[in-house]
Structure 1
Amino acid sequence: MKAYNTSVNYLKALGISLMVLGHTRVNPQVVAFIYMFHMPIFFIASGYCFKEKYLSAPQKYIYNKVKGIYWPYVKWSLLFLLLHNICFHLHFYSNQYGWKEHVSHLYAFSEFLSRATSIIFKMQGHEQLLGGYWFMNALFFGSLIIWPVIRYVKQPLCGGAILIVICTILNKTCWQIPFINISSQAFAAALLIYIGYSLAKYRVKTFNYWQIVLSLSITLIGSFVWNIAMGQNSYSNKRFIPYIITAVLASWSFYSLFDKMKSSQGICAKILDFIGKNTLTILTWHFLAFKLVSLLIIGIYGLPIERLAEFPVITEYSKQGWWIAYFIVAMVVTCGIAYFNK
């Protein structure tokens, strides 16, 4: 069994913190840089922690993924779905404001049933307050895809090439596996999981400081030239390969930094460790925590209460400096929830 890896936990803490920061709409170019690696971090971390004992125990592997990923997704998605109409009356949703052009409305029973079916059988259709839950879908199906690749493809370059070819074809055709709608996104997640697994299996050396600086510089350039948001179902093939390369370079750079400080026992290390152990709680509740700041902005500037339904934040004010409050409140509130639920 692999021992607990502090550096991986720190890496997850960085990823979830950057996710919250990116959702504050701090600055378009800052967001573009964050999106180059903040979600790939989690897929790579998942692969890095893959236990080879599951190669001979597929039923146990699937059970653990259902328990650890599928069930939390369904549980929280159904709860937020049941609360949709209440949230609508509380102005968390509205038919005027929402996520870009996606506004909301009161659900009839038939729509509750339709969305519940989609949540249970497709891991799709979750509420806007759970906007980051696309990641759960990608991680679950990516984890299932990667098992036979690791089990039956003995050469890592061949396994990676197979996944790249599949992603390229799906990107080109925008095709999805029927009914469950598995797209290029899940195979991209599988590719990153596979890379994380390979980094651990072959004990790839961590970067030195110059390699870290060079890798992050390349990633910064990439945020201008080949930026991608992994939340999409398919990607530009011209950008996909360089994106994957820089996502790995950036993720491994931060892992290398954390590996150099893994013996630290200070308050920052403890905070990072706590955040890294509670990423699901932060993912689940940070949009709702944002509403506290949006409500404050509405009160201060005399905005209509309907603007509380803007997702994920009231962008024009966030860009004026309120992103700091959004970030701090979301991290404090979600970590508080995690702490009191221990």
Structure 2
Amino acid sequence: MNNQAFSIMKGIAIISVVLGHCTTNSRIEAFVNQYHLAVFFFVAGFFFKEKYVVTPMDFIWKKVKRLYVPFVVAGIGCLLLHNIFYHLNIYDTELTIAQFGKGIFDVTIRMVSNELLMGAMWFCPAMLIVSIIGLVGFKIASLSTWNMPLINKRAIVFVFIVIIGSVCILFI
């Protein structure tokens, strides 16, 4: 689906990400950080295909291939390069076998990495988690027996998910 409005939204979000990362003005950075990720997540949710409510494992498998696998491959690659960069005096610390093992665990299970080269790869696990939460929300809304349009059901479910997420952030 080629929709000019969504192309403009994505363009503004991309420019905002670059602006947020390049600016030295903390007010501009704070302003940009208020919306640019929300735009990417909104656009991804807007183009969600209804067939995945019926076949959720197809959706999850697709997201794992596109988001989890590249994150893990990049993370393990960066871990393997870490000590080489240490010996080239690019990094200040050398990884021990235990730290390397913890790094593998963090990348594959916790989906986090402290490697400098991973940079913006944090977006992959974030998008994976948000996509799966979105799938659950769409599934709950489609199964509900409330007498209202599907879009209203989805809005209620997602407001509930946002409230739960906000409470978790406050107390974790």
1:85 to 83, 86, 94: 83
Q: How does 1:206-285 map to 2 (within 5 A)?
A: none
1:39–1:90 Cα change, 3 Å: farther
2:130 to 131, 136, 142: 142
Whole-angstrom distance in 1 between the partners of 2:69 and 2:46 = 22
- TM superposition shift of 1:6: 4.8
Match of 2:147 in 1: none
1:63 to 61, 84, 99: 61
**Is residue 112 from structure 1 mapped to residue 110 from structure 2 by the alignment?**
no
Which structure's residues are more often helix, by fraction? 2
Contact 2:67 2:128 in 1 (8 A): yes
- TM superposition shift of 1:4: 3.6
- TM superposition shift of 1:60: 0.7
Which of 1 and 2 has higher RCO (CA within 8 Å, sep 6+)? 1
Residues 52-108 of structure 1 deviation map (CA, whole Å, 9 limit, x = unaligned)? 1111111110111001111111111211121112233445433xxxxxxxxxx2101
Q: Secondary structure at the match of 1:125?
A: coil
Match of 1:165 in 2: 163
- Which ranges of structure 2 fall in alignment gaps of 5 or more residues? 142-149
Q: Supply the AA of the counterpart residue of 2:25.
A: N
1:54–1:90 Cα change, 3 Å: same
How many aligned residue pairs are there? 162
Contact 2:78 2:115 in 1 (8 A): yes
Q: Secondary structure at the match of 1:39?
A: helix
TM-score for the superposition, normalised by structure 1:
0.44
Match of 2:146 in 1: none
Q: Secondary structure at the match of 2:36?
A: coil
What is the aligned-residue identity percentage?
29
- Which ranges of structure 1 fall in alignment gaps of 5 or more residues? 95-104, 175-342
RMSD: 2.0
**Is residue 72 from structure 1 mapped to residue 70 from structure 2 by the alignment?**
yes
2:120 to 127, 132, 135: 132
Q: Secondary structure at the match of 1:151?
A: helix
Residues 168-188 of structure 1 deviation map (CA, whole Å, 9 limit, x = unaligned)? 3212311xxxxxxxxxxxxxx
1:11–1:161 Cα change, 3 Å: closer
Contact 1:77 1:126 in 2 (8 A): no
TM-score for the superposition, normalised by structure 2:
0.82
Q: Supply the AA of the counterpart residue of 2:54.
A: S
Q: Supply the AA of the counterpart residue of 1:67.
A: K
- TM superposition shift of 1:9: 4.1
2:16 to 15, 18, 33: 18
Q: Secondary structure at the match of 1:82?
A: helix
Match of 1:239 in 2: none
Residues 221-246 of structure 1 deviation map (CA, whole Å, 9 limit, x = unaligned)? xxxxxxxxxxxxxxxxxxxxxxxxxx
- TM superposition shift of 1:28: 1.3
Contact 1:81 1:126 in 2 (8 A): no
**Is residue 122 from structure 1 mapped to residue 110 from structure 2 by the alignment?**
yes
Whole-angstrom distance in 2 between the partners of 1:18 and 1:88 = 34
Whole-angstrom distance in 2 between the partners of 1:66 and 1:173 = 29
